[in-house]
Structure 1
Amino acid sequence: MPRPARTTPSRRALLGSAAVLSLALGGLAACSTSEETQAAAQSTAGGSSTYPLTLTSPFGETTLEEKPEKVAVVSSVDLDIALSLGVVPVISPLYGEAELDPWETTALEGLGESDLTTYDSTDGVDYEAIAAAAPDVILATSGWTLDEDYEQLSKIAPIVSFQGADGLTGMTWAERTAEAGKALDLAAKAQEVVDGVAAKFEAAAAAHPEFAGRTYTYAVIHPEQITYESYDGSDTSFFERLGFTLPAAASRFSAGNQAVSRENVDVLDADVLLVGYPFGDEGLLTRSALESDALFQQVPAVAGKHYAVVDDLVASPLAYPTPLSEVWVLDQLVPVLATAVAGS
């Protein structure tokens, strides 16, 4: 499915192909990382990894001879994982005019940093720039072009890859974080990160008991169709951890059958209906066009004011979660969901 263009460039600008998310981060190449800050952040993690450590991938094996200190990343998901573990990468990708995401800015500030050394990823992974940074290891648990990049990257440093033939899309952010934690001798810290996110969701669910048992539908207006995102079998964990459930209609959709026709928008009905318009004027329908459509207005959730819009800035991190973005999205969406449930 195509990814939404943005009027304001962002690291997660969604760039046209469902198979490739061009992952980059903002800010110009800048200062060195703070070894003291990183050491303090990592000191609570404990060390359990044994080196030499063989790192496996669908494309081959590499070996870490000792605990790595200098970490490079090739995707925004891996950047977020590194930052969540208290590690500021020696180099990260930057796509064109993209900007740093707000949760990354916060994480960097917490680690005593404000800038990142970057390379321009407009034309893909810059092997020379990564080699010049002399990393001890390369995080690529979400490397969308790792099948093409593995051979060259493995000549630079050992690679922490996604696992399994379907690992690129099949692994959760928690599994990727655990994989990175094991390689960096930060397994305990990785578990702490995962548990911390879970605690945030538990607290949000406890604060909003009205969410429990409510059905929800999430749809996105893509250029060629209205897409039913919350189908039975998709990753619905974000909403389910808050207590929401899927309506019966969700079982009618799948990864290969997500299109909703304009004449059949009533299938979107649920206790709460969320719709994203990240493509703007390039979408099949603009927000104003859909909201003024007579059939859409007759959907019970819409008529009962249980319909809400998912902000453009939230749509992408909701689709591609990380240990940092999950909590940020939670903060953004909980008020929206509360209002939609209340019908106000």
Structure 2
Amino acid sequence: MYRTAPVRIGAFGAFVLAGALVLTGCSSDTPEDSAAAADAAKPAPGLLPAAEGSTSYPLELESPWGSTTLEERPERIAAITPSQDDVEALVAIGVTPILVSEDQTDVWVQRELDQEIEGRFSVTDGGFNVEQIAAADPDLIVVLGADVSADYDKLAAIAPVLSTATTSEGESSVANDWATSITALGEALDLSEAADRALETEEEFFADFRAEHPEFDGKTASYVVYYGAESGLQYHSTPDSPAGLTLSRMGFEPSDNASELEYRAVISNEMLSAIDADVVIFSDNSDGHHADLTDSALFQALSAVKNDALVIVENHSVDGYFVIDGTEYDGNLSWGLARSGPLSSTWAAEQMAPALADVLGAE
């Protein structure tokens, strides 16, 4: 059974510590304070589940930019991928990283954590904040699917680096290969069985979901995101996109024109008919200006609109909530649909299910 979408009571409290890394530990001349500082520097209990005994160390970690070696099982893991895919993958197998981006406040991650994350690092346009990463004293740095060519040597000087990127240019598919990422993490952390369970849990969730929503089976769905008049309407549900994969696992089929459109293709007014489907999910990221488009004659001509099968999601990502049919919910649904991870995809499906069932006439 999957969890239903929680109705928002107050704005989601993002615990961002801007620009500063929160780390315990100090120095003192007294023996008591020295002992306390030493204890504070030790790994917090419960950061990782118990070792399974399937991984042998030392373990070589290969990447397009070089290799590093894990001499023993790591305990303090820094998750530094800009998209925060690594945080989601780690938490999905029961691991609490000791360092993540200050922007990491995703509801689907927070609800699975059983303890606070120790440190936060500030994000800059110039690349990884190597100094803050080093200050956290990690014994493994995880960066999934991202290009670290400019910083790999600096990161490797801090701790072994686990990367799932496949080319030195950092090229990757539209959707992260979660099975590859979680499997690699499971091996490195001696949690291969936990990694398998995470993938199985996700499959079981969607199997149960489809059984409970037969009204979605075989229906076509489009997911579009509106960024306002300047950036326009973008198509986000090509078959290999994160949203497209999530919708498919919910039981939907791609829209008739999905294979002819590119991921994040800008849809002009003249092309609006290309997004038509049995149901259209419209994410408004324009600060409430979606009516400029949705009230237009061309948009109103869509069969999904005529059949009352349009679901509008009003995103208020800065304040940490979204609105469907006048009801507020915690989280950033647009971001969840942009991920397709083991936690984000199931969370996004939960959030959309009631509205989609309503417009498709679930009994």
- Report the TM range for the smaller structure's normalisation: 0.7 to 0.9
C-alpha deviation, 1:167, in angstroms: 6.4
Two-structure CA RMSD over aligned residues (Å):
2.7
Contact 1:9 1:99 (C-alpha < 8 Å) held by counterparts = no
Contact 1:265 1:295 (C-alpha < 8 Å) held by counterparts = yes
**Counterpart residue number, 1:55:** 61
Q: Which has the higher helix share?
A: 1
* Matching residue within 214, 219, 223 for 1:214: 219
Amino acid at match of 1:38: L
C-alpha deviation, 1:162, in angstroms: 1.5
Contact 2:55 2:190 (C-alpha < 8 Å) held by counterparts = yes
> 2 CA distance for matches of 1:86 and 1:337?
31
Amino acid at match of 1:268: I
> 2 CA distance for matches of 1:230 and 1:100?
25
> 1 CA distance for matches of 2:350 and 2:57?
39
**Counterpart residue number, 2:196:** 191
C-alpha deviation, 1:311, in angstroms: 4.4
What is the aligned-residue identity percentage? 30
The answer to whether the aligner puts 1:336 opposite 2:355 as a matched pair is: yes
- Quick one: structure 1 residues 233 and 73, their matched pair in 2 at CA, closer, same or farther if it must change by over 3 Å? closer
The gaps in structure 2 that reach 5 residues or longer are: 1-10, 25-39, 316-331
**Counterpart residue number, 1:316:** 335
**Counterpart residue number, 1:89:** 97
* Matching residue within 29, 45, 49 for 1:36: 45
Amino acid at match of 1:162: T
**Counterpart residue number, 2:149:** 147
Amino acid at match of 1:288: A
- Quick one: structure 1 residues 103 and 230, their matched pair in 2 at CA, closer, same or farther if it must change by over 3 Å? closer
The answer to whether the aligner puts 1:133 opposite 2:142 as a matched pair is: no
- Relative to the length of structure 2, the TM-score reads 0.77
Tell me the alpha carbon deviations over residues 213-267 of structure 1, each in whole angstroms, 9 at most, x when there is no partner.
0011111123423222223554522111111101322222124x82321123122
Of structures 1 and 2, the larger Rg is shown by 2
- Quick one: structure 1 residues 279 and 122, their matched pair in 2 at CA, closer, same or farther if it must change by over 3 Å? farther
C-alpha deviation, 1:104, in angstroms: 2.5
- Relative to the length of structure 1, the TM-score reads 0.81
> 1 CA distance for matches of 2:190 and 2:156?
20
SS in 2 for 1:56: strand
- Quick one: structure 1 residues 297 and 122, their matched pair in 2 at CA, closer, same or farther if it must change by over 3 Å? same
Amino acid at match of 1:272: V
**Counterpart residue number, 1:4:** none
The answer to whether the aligner puts 1:296 opposite 2:305 as a matched pair is: no
Tell me the alpha carbon deviations over residues 166-205 of structure 1, each in whole angstroms, 9 at most, x when there is no partner.
7653242232122111111111111111111111111111
C-alpha deviation, 1:26, in angstroms: 3.1
C-alpha deviation, 1:339, in angstroms: 1.9
- Quick one: structure 1 residues 228 and 161, their matched pair in 2 at CA, closer, same or farther if it must change by over 3 Å? same
Contact 1:10 1:101 (C-alpha < 8 Å) held by counterparts = no
> 2 CA distance for matches of 1:128 and 1:234?
34
- Quick one: structure 1 residues 26 and 77, their matched pair in 2 at CA, closer, same or farther if it must change by over 3 Å? farther
Contact 1:27 1:115 (C-alpha < 8 Å) held by counterparts = no
C-alpha deviation, 1:115, in angstroms: 4.3
The gaps in structure 1 that reach 5 residues or longer are: 1-7, 12-24
The answer to whether the aligner puts 1:229 opposite 2:229 as a matched pair is: no
State the number of aligned residues. 309
> 1 CA distance for matches of 2:13 and 2:112?
17
Contact 1:306 1:343 (C-alpha < 8 Å) held by counterparts = no
* Matching residue within 280, 290, 297 for 2:287: 280
